[in-house]
Structure 1
Amino acid sequence: MTIKKKKRPIKTLAKGRPPTIQKSKSISRKATRGLINTIHQLEKKKAQAVAKGDKSSEAKIEAEISALGGIQKYQQASLQGQRNDRGGDSSRVLMEWLKPKFHASGLTADGSVRMLEVGALSTTNECSKSGYFDMERIDLNSQGEGILQQDFMKRPLPTDNTQTFDIISLSLVLNFVPDAQGRGEMLLRTLDFLKSRTNSSHDAFPCLFLVLPAPCITNSRYMDEMLLETIMNALGYIKTYSKVTQKLVYYLWRRTSCAPTKIPIFKKVELRSGSIRNNFSIALRGSTVRGG
């Protein structure tokens, strides 16, 4: 009688790996959105508590943020959202807009375009891989080499043109600023770090790439696209490209002049009513004298 040998299962490298190096589970879409929204709301409440000098509330809110994982967990969720199956990174849209201009002008991928990426999460996004840009990346909480830990609002002002940029990227950054006045100040500050039209060596520049959650523009009580464009025009920008998706709005604003010497006042004024609206807004103090 012939005894059949049992076939041993074929071992794979994956099965041979210890559990400690198995691929970690990704955060679900619902959990990602929920975490980001919750931290946004808590940051806004914390800013309000700080403004009122309410130390007790500030500490309580800070504890809630820490319990959720803090800024590190927020950035993990943001990186998760950049995966291709979650929509991919926003700089792909920027490259879709800029590549035809680069080709038309004969610009090669020689790293001659200076770019400041504020709120950078990765060194391998589409812009970084393109070869066109001399990248400088900053973030409040750097997630790795190649990203400087720095607050854009505290970044030292340029002392000469070599410290300015052809393009600044604010992708999902402005909406994280907790108040309307702070958002206006951030937009105003971009003018300090952009080259002037005369100092930029490329026709498409200097410019600002701005990405926001779509509801900030499409479903806000205090903001719509017309008002955003009016504010940007007052700062010396004109809209060259825009794209609206279900989740995000993308804009490319080209600087057309030197920084304005006087800024109009833009207050938080209701444009649309309704209980389902959000409170995103941008305000400018006005009468702000800037250098040319």
Structure 2
Amino acid sequence: MSQRATHVDDVVLSQGGFIMKMSASSVDTPVRRDVTYYTIKPGDTVQSVAGRYGLTLDTLRWANNIADVTSVVQGQRLVVPPVNGILVKVQPNTLLSGLAIQYHVKVQDIIDFNLIRDPDHLKPGTMLMLPDGVGPSLADPGVGKKTIRSVTWSRFGQQVTNYTITYSNAPVTGSGGKFPYGYCTWWVAHKRYVPWSGNAWQWWYNAQQFGYAEGQVPMVGAIMVQGISWASPVGHVAYVESVNGDGSFTVSEMNYGGWGRVDYRTIKSTAGLDLLGFIY
């Protein structure tokens, strides 16, 4: 008696010894690791674009430095990360340990997702995806803002500082950790996790003790630290909101223009700021 041939191309043997038909859904989908781009079309919103790619709204805002989702216009090109989390550009002084601490991810997760072969020698200019990383608070600074003044002053005939200040009238709520409300330290600790203590100028040295990377290049989410000066005997700290195409950068801060008052300062030159640097 002849036997009917059985095709087993699409079956697997289970742990219990039973033959089971493979489901298409049981096959692992390749992880998307490439950064893509999307151009805003009529009717698009930041929320709809995020949903199109299966991303959270925060992930898309972090990747594109979007403070006000209503400011995105038709024709604008958005960076689309491969997965939820934080997309960062490697700087000459970037350390994986610093990124892991700042964005609350594991170093090994960064290495695995980005297929990094030599973690100690990152290539400046390349992009790193920090899967499930947590970025800065995204409260909309566009609400209640009012531009007050532009400041330009000179010393010995040379421009020392040039910046614009935009004061916010929006109410501030939330926590600043161990720091007292109304001061610059409270505001920065309100914007991102700060494990150390001390006056503003001491943050530069205290952050080193906690393993945070530091440098002289402004980066989104970094802490700008100014040393002791005639204007502030305890120094000053601010939070970097954006790095702009013209080389300037914008910080948010408290107690620069008055106790408990928040402003957004776009800095075109750091000369004369008694700048110690940036904590990443």
TM-score of the pair, normalised by structure 2: 0.27
- Between 1 and 2, higher relative CO (CA 8 Å, sep ≥ 6) is seen in 2
Q: Which has the larger radius of gyration?
A: 2
More strand, by proportion: 2
Taking structure 1 as the reference length, the TM-score comes to 0.26
